[in-house]
Amino acid sequence: MSPELQLDSHGRLRHLLTLEGLDAGLLTEILDTAEEFDKTLRGPEKKLPLLRGRTIINLFFEPSTRTRTTFELAAKRLSADVLNLQMAASSTSKGETLFDTLKTLEAMQADMFVVRHEASGAAHFFAQHAAPGVSILNAGDGRHAHPTQGLLDLFTIRRYKSGAGRPGPDCFRKLRVAIVGDVLHSRVARSDIHGLRALGTTDIRVVAPPTLIPAGIEQMGVRVCHRIDEGLDGVDVVILLRLQKERMLGAYLPSMSEFHRDFGLTRKRIEALRRDAIIMHPGPINRGVEIEGDMAYGPQSLILQQVQHGIAVRMAVMAMILGPPQRRAADGRRGLRRARSAA
């Protein structure tokens, strides 16, 4: 899958399919834009006219609560018209191909599709076949990528780990991050790792039993730990991942209770963390499996803040791709400078 597909010839975001290949400059620009929108969302007038007259279609072939609703709310806060299609109940179940679904909906003059699909590569497929001027946002494809979740995780980490004042470029460099749980099936883990690496984090541990670690993951620049105490030692950020039972065809684990005993974030393990360590989870949570039930919303947990940040981050991506030309022109000039200085 080619990450270049998502940038236009000026280095400007055209689709968002993966965080792989996006540089620190562009990631920071998205996070800074999201900060602006987050401020607006905390004020009395939450709606902006930036995408008035634009049409955004949410195409969800897999279930979703947070991602779908925050994409919808983000689009509405920007004044776009939004259509939500539950694809299980649509023509694909009558045999229509993805290509024909795309072309049919494009005929309704959609400007952007937000796509979630169980097949890795589905969002790339849409991007390859989209008409000029139509953009694709990947809302999760198989085990491959979930770029807006990666961005909202980066936003949350930067917000809580940059100390007082404006986050400096070094904020990610010194972090120690543990990603714990079902790394094998997790598109969130992959997007988090790409984003953190691009922003300079070098101490990233993936923590799970061997059956839940994908082969070769060290090549992404992470350390594999099969013991949780070693994985959590001294960390600033703990990202928990759901056990994705729906993607587990074989026997990956003896039982949920054994996973909790060996890899769950128990009260005792939370007490052993640094006092300022933060705990995150993309949701949905299996209570009592990844985390002890009554600790899910404890004082170090940012799980609900992540949901809230998802709205500002998704507004940022939509506005940077579809927003008024003067906004995109500025982004494009910066993109071009970045591309030139990298050459």
Cβ atoms of 241 and 183 within 8 Å: the answer is: yes
Return all residues near 240 (Cβ < 8 A) that are at least 6 apart. Answer: 180, 181, 265, 279, 280, 281, 285, 290, 291
Nearest approach, Cβ of 19 to ligand NCD (angstroms)? Answer: 14
The reply to whether 146 sits near ligand NCD by the rule CB under 6 A is: yes
Binding residues for ligand NCD, total number by CB under 6 A: 11
| Residue nearer to ligand NCD on the CB measure, 283 or 335 | 283
Interface residue with ligand NCD, options 159, 161, 187, 190 (CB under 6 A): 187
- Site for ligand NCD (CB under 6 A): which residue of 242, 269, 314, 328? 242
Tell which phi-psi region holds residue 52, choosing left (phi > 0), alpha (psi between -120 and 50) or beta: beta
CB of 282 to ligand NCD, least distance (A): 4
Burial of 27 (0-12, 13-18, 19+ CB in 10 A): buried
Which residue, judged by CB position, is nearest to ligand NCD in the bound state? 242
Q: Which of 26, 56, 151, 188 binds ligand NCD (CB under 6 A)?
A: 188
> Which residue, 48 or 73, is less far from ligand NCD as judged by CB?
73
For the CB of residue 146, give the shortest distance to ligand NCD in the complex, in Å: 5
Q: Whole-angstrom Cα distance, residue 194 to residue 184?
A: 15
Residue 176 touching ligand NCD (CB under 6 A): no
Q: How far apart are CA 76 and CA 41, in angstroms?
A: 12
> Do 108 and 60 meet the contact criterion of CB atoms below 8 Å apart?
no
Smallest separation, CB 148 to ligand NCD (Å): 9
How many helices (H) does the chain have, and how many strands (E)?
11, 9
247 lines the binding site for ligand NCD (CB under 6 A): no
Contact between 18 and ligand NCD by CB under 6 A: the answer reads no
* Contact pick of 149, 156, 201, 301 for ligand NCD (by CB under 6 A): 149
H or E element: which one contains 188? Answer: helix 187-198
Q: Find the binder of ligand NCD among 13, 28, 126, 140 (CB under 6 A).
A: 140
Residue for token pair 């703990």: 238
Q: Enumerate residues 278-317 that contact ligand NCD by CB under 6 A.
A: 282-283
Q: CB of residue 312 vs ligand NCD: minimum separation in angstroms?
A: 16
Six-digit token string for 192: 């988090």
Q: Is 197 in the site for ligand NCD (CB under 6 A)?
A: no
Q: Footprint of ligand NCD on residues 62-81 (CB under 6 A)?
A: 66-67
Neighbours of 48 (CB within 10 A): 17
Helix (H, G, I), strand (E, B) or coil at 192: helix
Instruction: Please give the single-letter amino acid code of residue 10.
Output: H
- Check: CB of residue 60 under 8 Å from CB of residue 85: yes
Judged by CB under 6 A, the residue of 79, 84, 120, 244 near ligand NCD is 244
Q: Find the shortest distance in angstroms from Cβ 45 to ligand NCD.
A: 28
Q: Which of 138, 112, 111, 109 is nearest to 125 (CA)?
A: 138
Binding region for ligand NCD (CB under 6 A): 66-67, 140, 146, 149, 187-188, 242, 244, 282-283
